[in-house]
Amino acid sequence: MIDFNGQVAVVTGAGRGLGRLYALDLARRGAAVVVNDLGGTMHGKGSDTAVADDVVAEITAAGGRAVASYDSVDTAEGGQAIVDRAVEAFGRLDVVVSNAGIFNSIPFDALSADDWRRMLAVHLDGGFYLSRPAYSLMKRQEYGRFVFVSSSAGNFGQPMEAHYAAAKTGLVGLSNVIAIEGAAHGIASNAVLPTGFSRMVTETVGDEKFLAESGFMRAIRPELVVPLVTFLASRNCTFTHRNYSACAGRYARVFVGLGDGWLADAASDPIAEDIEAHLDEVSATDSFIVPESIVDEVLQVCERRGISAMPDNAEVAFPERAG
C-alpha cells in the first residue's frame, strides 16, 4: 500500500470538490494534512471558515490528523502562512498539492484586465506564493513532492477561458523549473490535468437535466482523479518533470514534443518564403523528442549542425540531459 506515514501534506482548495477528495485520501493513507481553503465561491467571492473546518472534522472523525488553514494563496503572506501552519502543527512539510483556484467563463473580447489579473493571481501567483517557501523547506529536508493541478483548458484550449487557460498552463512552466532545480535535493514536481464532475462543471453547464442524464458526467466522477494525484504525491513516485491527464478513468501522459523540423543550410540566410516552401517539414510531428529542458533543444540543433555547444576553451558547458 502506498502510504504517507510520518509525512505532512498541504492541499489548497481542499474544502470542496477534488481538493477535498485529495485531502481525504492522503489522510486515509497516514498523512497529516493541512486543509487549506478560503471558503469563497467558485468566482472568488467571500469566505467561510466552515468549509475547511468540515473537512478537518471529517478526517479526524475517521482517526486521521488534520488542521485547517483559511489563508488565501494569492499573496506572498498567505503562501508563507500556509507553510508555517504545517510546520507549527506537524513539524515539517513533505507534500504540496497546489489545487486552489477560481473559475468563470468570459469571451476573449469581453475579458477585462481585472478579470485577467484576478485569475492569474489565484492560480499562477498562488502556485508561486505557496511553492516558494515550501521549496525552501523541502530543500533543507532533502525531500519533497509537488503536484500542481493544471488543466487541459490551457494545454489544448477551451473557449471563453483565455485567462484560466493561461494561468493553468503557467503552472506547468513553474512545475518544470521546480523539477529541474529540485532534482538534486530529492524534490519531485509534476502536474495533473484533471477532468472531474465538480461545481466548476455544474455551475458552468447549468442544465440540471443534462447533468442528471449525461453518461459522460457520470463517467467523470471526481473520485477517478484521486489515484493519480495520490501516486504523484507519494514516495513511490520517483520521476519528476512530467504532466498527466486524468479523465473518466483514463490516465495518460501529456507532453510537449519538439519535431525534427527543417534544417536550413548553414551557409544560407533563410527568408519567409523558405519557411513556406518547407512548411510540411517545419510542421511535421511524426519524429520528435520530449525535451527535459531548453538545453535539450540546443544540444539537438548543435548535434545536427555538427557544432559544439561548448564555448572554445570553456570548462563548463550546458548541463547534461536529464533523460
The answer to the question of residue 3 being in a domain is no
- pLDDT for 208 equals 60
**Total domain count for the chain?**
2
CA distance 317 to 107: 46
Please state, as a whole number, how many other Cβ atoms lie within 10 Å of the Cβ of residue 155: 19
Assess whether 27 and 146 both reside in one domain. yes
Assess whether 142 and 212 both reside in one domain. yes
What mean pLDDT value characterizes the chain? 92
Q: Which residues are catalytic?
A: 164
Please state, as a whole number, how many other Cβ atoms lie within 10 Å of the Cβ of residue 19: 26
Q: Span 32-43, mean pLDDT?
A: 92
The answer to the question of residue 125 being in a domain is yes
The answer to the question of residue 311 being in a domain is no
Assess whether 44 and 174 both reside in one domain. yes
Pick the last residue of a domain from 235, 254, 273.
Answer: 254
Assess whether 298 and 171 both reside in one domain. no
CA distance 119 to 162: 10
- Give the 3-state secondary structure of residue 306: coil
Please state, as a whole number, how many other Cβ atoms lie within 10 Å of the Cβ of residue 26: 30
- Give the 3-state secondary structure of residue 33: strand
Specify burial of residue 216 (Cβ count, 10 A radius: 0-12, 13-18, 19+): exposed
CATH number, domain at 227? 3.40.50.720
Provide the pLDDT confidence category of residue 130 given band limits of 50, 70 and 90.
very high
The answer to the question of residue 314 being in a domain is no
What's the domain range around 93?
8-254
- pLDDT for 75 equals 97
In DSSP terms, 246 is beta-bridged to 194, 251
- pLDDT for 321 equals 38
Assess whether 65 and 127 both reside in one domain. yes
Residue 198 has pLDDT above 90, yes or no: no
- pLDDT per residue over 210-251, tens digit each? 655 667 778 889 999 999 999 999 999 999 999 999 999 999
Assess whether 106 and 186 both reside in one domain. yes
Assess whether 127 and 266 both reside in one domain. no
Nearest to 85, CA basis, from 37, 17, 46: 37
The answer to the question of residue 85 being in a domain is yes
The answer to the question of residue 240 being in a domain is yes
Assess whether 161 and 269 both reside in one domain. no
Residue 257 has pLDDT above 80, yes or no: yes
φ, ψ (nearest 5 deg) of residue 149:
-90, 105
For residues 8 and 94, the answer to whether their CB atoms sit within 8 Å is yes
The answer to the question of residue 321 being in a domain is no
Assess whether 192 and 132 both reside in one domain. yes
Assess whether 45 and 107 both reside in one domain. yes
The answer to the question of residue 39 being in a domain is yes
Question: Grid coordinates 468563470 are at which residue?
Answer: 104
Residue 125, amino acid: D
Provide the pLDDT confidence category of residue 315 given band limits of 50, 70 and 90.
very low
Assess whether 165 and 210 both reside in one domain. yes
Assess whether 105 and 88 both reside in one domain. yes
φ, ψ (nearest 5 deg) of residue 248:
55, 40
- Please report, for residues 248, 266, 303, 307, the alpha-carbon distance to residue 282 in angstroms, rounded to integers and kept in the order given: 35, 16, 18, 21
Pick the last residue of a domain from 254, 281, 297.
Answer: 254
